[in-house]
Chains A and B, each alone.
Chain A
Amino acid sequence: MSTATAQKQGFGATLWDYLTTVDHKKIAILYLVSGGIFFLAGGLEALLIRIQLMVPDNNFVSSGMYNQLITMHGTTMIFLAAMPFIFALMNIAVPLQIGARDVAFPFLNSLGFWLFFFGGVLLNLSWFTGAPDAGWTAYAPLSTTSPGHGMDFYVLGLQISGAGTLIGGINFLVTIINMRAPGMTYMRMPLFTWTALVTSVLILFAFPALTVGLFLMMFDRLFGAGFFDPTMGGNHVIWEHLFWIFGHPEVYILVLPIFGLFSDIISTFSKKRLFGYSAMVFATVLIGFLGFMVWAHHMFTTGLGPIANSIFAIATMAIAVPTGIKIFNWLFTMWGGVIRMTAAMLWTVAFIPSFTLGGFTGVMLAAAAADFQYHDTYFVVAHFHYVIVGGVVFGVFAGLHYWWPKMFGKILDEKLGKLAFWPFFIGFHLTFFIQHFLGLMGMPRRYWVFHSGDGLDLGNLISTIGAFFMTLGTLIFLYNVIITSIKGEKASADPWDARTLEWSIPSPPPFYNFKQTPLVRGLDPLWVEKRQGNGKMTPAEPLGDIHMPNNSFIPFMISLGSFVMGYGLIYQVDDSRWLFVAIAGLLITLGSMFVRSVKDDLGYHIHKEDLEEKGAGSE
């Protein structure tokens, strides 16, 4: 519907619609587009890094610039690209998969997005005056003593966007627990919904640690506090703890929903129900739980002592067990299935060995004694790119191919999809496989140049060539998106002959999703109906009025206020008049919250008669 009406409406009306929307399907598009833009920015930064490291003793960018590039690349990719992609996918799929008309808090959904967006914009505006340059991990005292305002942008940008993420997490928790259609018991939920649930729990308990860490850093940098300043009695290891108490769960926040969508995709395109469904659920929950027990494996060389290191090493290795369960269950689902190698499935199948390699190196790194050798070398860079690119990015591509019809009503061109896959896949392994060996040969991470004669030339050249292949793959994918939106074929409700509820309603769904809430009769509810019923969902209720939430501009204003406040806080160290800007921003935020609080927002009803006119909702 969105694209169709967008063409009929004027540009202004469409813009206003998106600025005020509380519809989860449109918010998914907002997340996707802004995440996509940040992904391109982060990708460009990566390309510049690789060009600098293409040949020894290179001078393509200055050392200071290089520090800014690596910091912004990491920060952007994790917080501003991967996170919104995850939220885009959760927004489009979760409410539909559980048979809900929207999320539990449509208003907060919009607020979460705009906070994320303004935080990301704030962070990237730093490019004009000097970007953050202390690494995405922002270790103190490097970060607290970094001159200029770069790190202040980091602190405030992440604080604002982090608040948005937290709100999003709570929203999905309540949505999944309270809004499921009749019959959709927990153990009938699609794996993607399950992983979205666990990821939301992780967001809820991990992000506040980052919030506190960022507050402390802000107090140190902007208000003269001494948390991380040893001359005042401070202790910079506190930052490391807070950052990784958040940071390790964060990697699972990113990868769990991807595990979930791979499970859905594999079962759909193998025409088999997921092998070991309950084991998959159990493994997801276990990974989520263990994810909180292992943060100090990033701090083996900090000097916590052998006992702490051993405990965290063992806990870390334990995570490989539930992860292994998942890998085998995916393989067993495909085993003996009727496999269709669509573009989505191609990314999925490529994910399995790629991610497994990342898991292997993870267990290697978890051996604390050995990590003294690996730590802060390119070996670590190789490890986390295997899990994050080979896992999360492959997963996002797969998920986009899979759910594109639900989002936009058109199927991404399959041929172009596969054409984009191959250069990306080959480029990925070219870039990162060799980095394991560069790391083992002693090439440190985050260094501006390497020298000729150290035997690192060929490896780095290969790595850079790989980066260009990945760029090519991304460009083909973008081309595919454009071509598809111009002349792609219109998608039916169920183009993949799939199994879950989102495919029981038109593509794209009407804005109220389900005309009548469906009755779920088993795992893979649509498949159950295809096998045992007439292929359509049985409604759980008679046709009646549908209650819908109102659009609202307040989320935008609340977020805008915090953006202004962030700017003011950053610059008040130079000139105290900026404090007025900060206060003005705070007042915009609080004022908007006040308006929200005192103005009733009851939503409206779509009447039964209007629904009847529109004909059958599910075909």
Chain B
Amino acid sequence: MSDEQLQTLKPGQSPHEPEKATLEGKNKFLGFWFFLGGETVLFASLFGTYLALKDKGAETKAQELFGLELVFIMTIILLTSSLTSVYAIYHMKNLDFKKMQLWLGITVLLGASFLGLEIYEFQHYVHEYHHTFTSSAFGSAFYTLVGFHGGHVLFGLLWIVTLMVRNAKRGLNLYNAPKYYVASLYWHFIDVVWVFIFTVVYLMGKVG
């Protein structure tokens, strides 16, 4: 079975769901969903901590600190990147490797610009408001929650790029299809977490 797994799949061939065509793929698929379940608890704990410490010990409160324009743009960018990764997986299911790589490339670009804006945003808080990791419990909680998310974005980017480069020459096969699929799941998860961050941290922060 194993060597067949490395045969390059071409458009028009079966199977329609290459990510779940092997037992290894099925295991990865299920295992990764469970992993995301654990990640959910992780972020839930961070959200809980953030809510308990919001505004605590800080001179500049959330309402004053946050501006929505930049964060709104970041949200749009990340949501779009989720959409482009859906396109990528759509093409994967049609076994169209080139188009999949293309859409993944766009996803990576969007993700990287999100990350760049986030770094800019942090810079801004530090320099304009002296809102730092060690300035108050609020600062610690804010940078931990949002930074954990940012760290996930960075890891996701490195992961997807590694996959794209590694498989650029040989195309799609039953061995790497689950890897691509799982990476895209991860990317969606990051996106969902951001929606919560946007709501809980920024929108609710603005409302007070």
Q: Which of B5, B26, B52 contacts A178 (CB 8 A)?
A: B26
B residues near A233, Cβ cutoff 8 Å: 53, 56-58, 136-138
B residues near A231, Cβ cutoff 8 Å: 57
Which of B3, B48, B49, B56 has the most chain A CB atoms closer than 10 A to its own CB?
B49
Interface string of B36-71 (1 = CB under 8 A from A): 011101100110110011001110000000000000
**Would you call A174 and B134 a contact (CB within 8 A)?**
no
**Would you call B144 and A209 a contact (CB within 8 A)?**
no
Q: Is the interface of B mostly helix, strand, loop or mixed?
A: helix
**Would you call B136 and A178 a contact (CB within 8 A)?**
no
Q: Which of B30, B162, B175 contacts A597 (CB 8 A)?
A: B162
Query: With A178-B26, A225-B133, A234-B57 in contact, is A605–B2 under 8 Å at CB?
Result: yes
* A523 contacts the other chain (CB 8 A): no
Which of A171, A177, A212, A242 has the most chain B CB atoms closer than 10 A to its own CB?
A212
Cα distance A594–B53 when bound, in Å? 37
A residues near B141, Cβ cutoff 8 Å: 227
* A447 contacts the other chain (CB 8 A): no
Q: Is the interface of A mostly helix, strand, loop or mixed?
A: helix
**Would you call B56 and A225 a contact (CB within 8 A)?**
no
**Would you call B56 and A234 a contact (CB within 8 A)?**
yes
Q: Which of A170, A232, A597 contacts B38 (CB 8 A)?
A: A170
* B116 contacts the other chain (CB 8 A): no
A residues near B42, Cβ cutoff 8 Å: 208-209, 211-212
Interface residue ranges of A259-318 to B (CB < 8 Å): none
* Shortest Cβ distance from residue B8 to the other chain A in the assembled complex, whole angstroms: 13
Q: Which of A173, A209, A226, A594 contacts B45 (CB 8 A)?
A: A209
**Would you call A600 and B30 a contact (CB within 8 A)?**
no
A residues near B175, Cβ cutoff 8 Å: 600, 602
* B34 contacts the other chain (CB 8 A): yes
Cα distance A55–B25 when bound, in Å? 62
Query: With A234-B56, A597-B166 in contact, is A104–B31 under 8 Å at CB?
Result: yes
* B76 contacts the other chain (CB 8 A): no
* B207 contacts the other chain (CB 8 A): no
**Size bracket, chain A contacts:** 35 or more
**Would you call A174 and B30 a contact (CB within 8 A)?**
yes
**Would you call B140 and A225 a contact (CB within 8 A)?**
yes
* Shortest Cβ distance from residue A168 to the other chain B in the assembled complex, whole angstroms: 12
Interface residue ranges of A576-604 to B (CB < 8 Å): 594, 597-598, 600, 602-604
Cα distance A205–B40 when bound, in Å? 9
* A207 contacts the other chain (CB 8 A): yes
* Shortest Cβ distance from residue A110 to the other chain B in the assembled complex, whole angstroms: 15
B residues near A482, Cβ cutoff 8 Å: none
**Would you call A547 and B31 a contact (CB within 8 A)?**
no
* A60 contacts the other chain (CB 8 A): no
**Would you call B134 and A224 a contact (CB within 8 A)?**
yes
Q: Which residue of A lies closest to B170 (CB)?
A: A600
Segment at the B interface, from A181-189, A215-223, A344-352 = A215-223
Interface string of B118-131 (1 = CB under 8 A from A): 00000000000000
**Would you call B136 and A547 a contact (CB within 8 A)?**
no
Cα distance A104–B56 when bound, in Å? 46
**Would you call A245 and B45 a contact (CB within 8 A)?**
yes
**Would you call A215 and B136 a contact (CB within 8 A)?**
no
Query: With A212-B42, A212-B49, A597-B162 in contact, is A232–B31 under 8 Å at CB?
Result: no
**Would you call A602 and B5 a contact (CB within 8 A)?**
yes
* Shortest Cβ distance from residue B31 to the other chain A in the assembled complex, whole angstroms: 4
Interface residue ranges of A77-110 to B (CB < 8 Å): 104-105
**Would you call B137 and A204 a contact (CB within 8 A)?**
no
**Would you call A227 and B49 a contact (CB within 8 A)?**
yes
Query: With A225-B144, A227-B137, A234-B137 in contact, is A205–B41 under 8 Å at CB?
Result: yes
* A166 contacts the other chain (CB 8 A): yes
**Would you call A600 and B6 a contact (CB within 8 A)?**
yes
Query: With A225-B144, A226-B136, A602-B3 in contact, is A212–B46 under 8 Å at CB?
Result: yes
* Shortest Cβ distance from residue B88 to the other chain A in the assembled complex, whole angstroms: 18
B residues near A604, Cβ cutoff 8 Å: 2
**Would you call A174 and B31 a contact (CB within 8 A)?**
yes
Cα distance A600–B176 when bound, in Å? 9
* Shortest Cβ distance from residue B160 to the other chain A in the assembled complex, whole angstroms: 11
Cα distance A603–B31 when bound, in Å? 19
Interface string of B173-202 (1 = CB under 8 A from A): 001000000000000000000000000000
**Would you call B41 and A208 a contact (CB within 8 A)?**
yes
A residues near B166, Cβ cutoff 8 Å: 597-598
**Would you call B23 and A178 a contact (CB within 8 A)?**
yes
Interface string of A224-252 (1 = CB under 8 A from B): 11110101111100100110010000000
* B72 contacts the other chain (CB 8 A): no
Q: Kindly list the 7 A-B residue pairs having the minimum CB-CB distance in the complex, ordered from nearest.
A: A233-B57, A233-B56, A225-B140, A233-B137, A212-B45, A208-B42, A602-B2
Sampled A-B contacts (15; CB under 8 Å) = A166-B38, A174-B27, A179-B27, A204-B37, A205-B37, A208-B39, A209-B41, A216-B140, A223-B133, A225-B134, A232-B57, A234-B56, A547-B1, A597-B159, A597-B162
Given contact pairs A235-B53, A245-B45, a sample of 18 additional A-B residue pairs in the complex whose CB atoms are under 8 Å apart: A104-B31, A170-B34, A174-B34, A178-B27, A205-B37, A208-B42, A208-B45, A211-B42, A212-B45, A220-B140, A223-B133, A224-B133, A226-B57, A232-B57, A234-B53, A238-B52, A597-B159, A598-B162
